[in-house]
Amino acid sequence: MAQWRNKRPDEVYGEAEIQARLAEQLPAWTYEDGWIRRKYKTSGWKATLMVVNTVGHLAEAAWHHPDLNVSYAFVTVKLMNHAAKGVTDKDFELARKIEEVVLWQPGADAGSALEGTPDDPRFKYLKYD
């Protein structure tokens, strides 16, 4: 993992740094119009609400709030530090936590008693990359 400059929590990254850090740490995220963003595809409205509620909980706990674009079968999460007027460490840290929690699958944990959602379209709610 590349060493990122020691920045103050509200210090803004430049576009080249953002692109490099996304490529290394959050490859499913993109940088566009001053925001880092990720589109989560779901199986429908109930699943979309589950993703929105998960992101909402994490954002509130972190006291760092994304913009969301919510539709029937997707949620787009956009992060930018409004106070700093750019992308900061807060955005990368919250993006990593969102990615970790939203994409978590218990079947991937070795030795877990949790089996995960059945591999059946009737029960799948998130379209994993």
> Which structural domain range is residue 77 located in?
32-103+121-129
User: Residue 98: inside a domain, yes or no?
Assistant: yes
Identity of the amino acid at 81: N
pLDDT in tens, 10-62: 899 999 999 999 999 999 999 999 999 999 999 999 999 999 999 999 999 99
Q: Can you give the CATH number for the domain in which 89 is found?
A: 3.30.1360.20
Number of domains forming the structure of the chain: 1
pTM: 0.88
User: Residue 14: inside a domain, yes or no?
Assistant: no
User: Residue 27: inside a domain, yes or no?
Assistant: no
